[in-house]
């Protein structure tokens, strides 16, 4: 099988069928035993999704007439070819030849000449396209995302869009029940793995390059976990104390659950998720780290019991983690934002009823849209006289009317929102 043709099929499933890369790429990778082919396939799929809107604009300009709907597979193969020429170190002759040869896997030999001609034309005229002033072409985002970010962050929108197109950093969380961050950094140095501390976190480290987890010192023994720096802030904001009952609502895949138990092992933690497969990932993470929590398959809105601390990492647009999941640009719709805000509000109201008086709830999302963040929390505070905001006094992030926002790329972190609420004692 040609790697380019498989890449085109994967991106086709994203663009046409609305599948996520996480759904279709793992199966596609099984077509290849050579890790180099697997790495190339992953790079092509993520790259085409990341730069889809720019590639699409270039292709539309180069084509004399739009391709027919039945030939969208060939069109996406063309984007695969353009991406290699635009943003990869593959020799141009190899990129063109292998992409043209991939036509055989689609049994559309008529397209060989078309793809060869267009790819070679792009080679000659690449500088013209690189000078485009269009925001959609330059930043490669759908118009609605660009406009929403411009409105919400008039001083930061270009930096956000640029950060969304970068490759995400490889960040770690040291299990400080096992060893200090300083000691683990020394282990990385000894292993030839360049890294530095994430100053805004007590346990965070960012590596200069990504590593297979099996190569990380002490990974199997639970010394370290892969987790973005921003996600590591949640456990600190909960102000955990011994013997407290703690609920991690929407817990999968379990990184924050594990971190809470690393910060304060002497708590009674319940991790809830409504997806059995994702909940299994929570269990696996806890087992590797030798941590204990009650894992419950349920809707967070229907959880029984009372808790001293609640973390609600609410379902959201994931607009703060586009650099990790570039297919979000293709899958998310503007109409989703209102629907997600309704779900977030429902969950927040439900879990609030499970919080003991005097307890703390941290509301978090990996979104940068105010409609899912400050607007949700402000409306909640107005509707609940027993709730008050407890200010986050940390120096990181941007102060919002309620809560704090980290933008994509800040401190080499993902985009995240946090608000901390205290339940009044009547």
Is the separation of the CB atoms in 99 and 4 below 8 Å?
yes
Question: Would you give the DSSP letter of residue 168?
Answer: P
Q: Which of 166, 173, 176, 280 has its CA nearest to residue 229?
A: 173
Question: Would you give the DSSP letter of residue 64?
Answer: S
Strand order in the sheet with 170-174: 195-197, 204-207, 170-174, 224-226
Q: Please give the C-alpha separations between residue 75 and each of 16, 72, 332, in angstroms, as whole numbers.
A: 12, 5, 21
Q: Please give the C-alpha separations between residue 393 and each of 358, 363, 373, 397, 404, in angstroms, as whole numbers.
A: 19, 16, 18, 10, 9
User: Three-class SS of residue 308?
Assistant: strand
The separation between the first and the last C-alpha atoms of the chain, rounded to the nearest angstrom, is: 67
Annotation says 366 is catalytic: yes
Residues in the chain, total: 426
Q: Please give the C-alpha separations between residue 330 and each of 5, 78, 147, 168, in angstroms, as whole numbers.
A: 20, 17, 16, 18
Question: Would you give the DSSP letter of residue 245?
Answer: E
Spatial separation of the C-alpha atoms in residues 306 and 247, rounded to whole Å: 9
Half-sphere exposure of 272 (CA within 13 A, CB side): 21
User: Three-class SS of residue 91?
Assistant: coil
Radius of gyration of the chain measured on its C-alpha atoms: 23
Question: Would you give the DSSP letter of residue 137?
Answer: H
Q: Which of 2, 20, 311 has its CA nearest to residue 10?
A: 20
Token look-up 């009674």 returns 268
Q: Which of 238, 259, 296 has its CA nearest to residue 422?
A: 238
Selected catalytic residue, list 250, 269, 316, 366: 366
Please state the φ and ψ torsions of residue 225, each to the nearest 5 degrees.
Answer: -135, 155
Q: Which residues are catalytic?
A: 366
């Amino acid at each position: 099988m040609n790697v380019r043709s498989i890449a085109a099929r994967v991106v086709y499933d994203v663009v046409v069928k609305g599948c996520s890369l996480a759904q279709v790429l793992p199966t596609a990778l099984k077509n290849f035993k050579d890790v180099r082919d697997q790495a190339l396939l992953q790079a092509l799929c993520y790259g085409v999704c990341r730069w889809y809107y720019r590639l699409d604009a270039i292709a539309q300009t180069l084509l004399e007439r739009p391709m027919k709907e039945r030939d969208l597979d060939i069109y996406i193969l063309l984007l695969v070819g353009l991406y290699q020429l635009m943003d990869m170190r593959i020799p141009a002759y190899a990129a063109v030849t292998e992409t043209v040869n991939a036509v055989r896997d689609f049994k559309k030999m008529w397209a060989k000449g078309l793809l060869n001609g267009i790819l070679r034309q792009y080679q000659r005229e690449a500088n013209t396209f690189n000078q485009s002033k269009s925001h959609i072409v330059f930043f490669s985002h759908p118009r609605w995302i660009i406009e929403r970010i411009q409105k919400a962050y008039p001083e930061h929108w270009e930096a956000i869009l640029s950060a969304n197109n970068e490759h995400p950093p490889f960040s770690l969380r040291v299990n400080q029940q096992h060893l200090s961050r300083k000691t683990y950094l020394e282990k990385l140095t000894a292993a030839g793995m360049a890294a530095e501390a994430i100053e805004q976190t007590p346990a965070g480290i960012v590596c200069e390059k990504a590593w297979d987890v099996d190569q990380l010192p002490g990974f199997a023994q639970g010394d370290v976990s892969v987790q973005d720096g921003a996600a590591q802030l949640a456990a600190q904001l909960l102000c955990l104390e011994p013997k407290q009952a703690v609920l991690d609502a929407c817990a999968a895949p379990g990184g924050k659950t594990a971190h809470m138990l690393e910060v304060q092992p002497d708590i009674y933690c319940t991790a809830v998720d409504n997806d059995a497969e994702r909940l299994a990932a929570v269990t696996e993470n806890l087992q590797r780290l030798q941590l204990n929590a009650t894992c419950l398959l349920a809707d967070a809105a229907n959880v029984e019991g009372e808790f001293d601390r609640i973390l609600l990492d609410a379902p959201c647009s994931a607009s703060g983690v586009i650099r990790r999941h570039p297919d979000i640009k293709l899958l998310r719709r503007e109409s989703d934002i209102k629907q997600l805000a309704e779900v977030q509000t429902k969950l927040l109201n439900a879990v609030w009823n499970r919080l003991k008086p005097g307890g703390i709830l941290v509301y978090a999302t990996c979104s940068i849209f105010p409609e899912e963040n400050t607007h949700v929390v402000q409306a909640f505070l107005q509707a609940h006289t027993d709730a008050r905001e407890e200010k986050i006094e940390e120096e990181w992030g941007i102060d919002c009317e309620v809560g704090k926002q980290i933008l994509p790329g800040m401190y080499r972190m993902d985009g995240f929102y946090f608000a901390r609420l205290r339940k009044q004692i009547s």
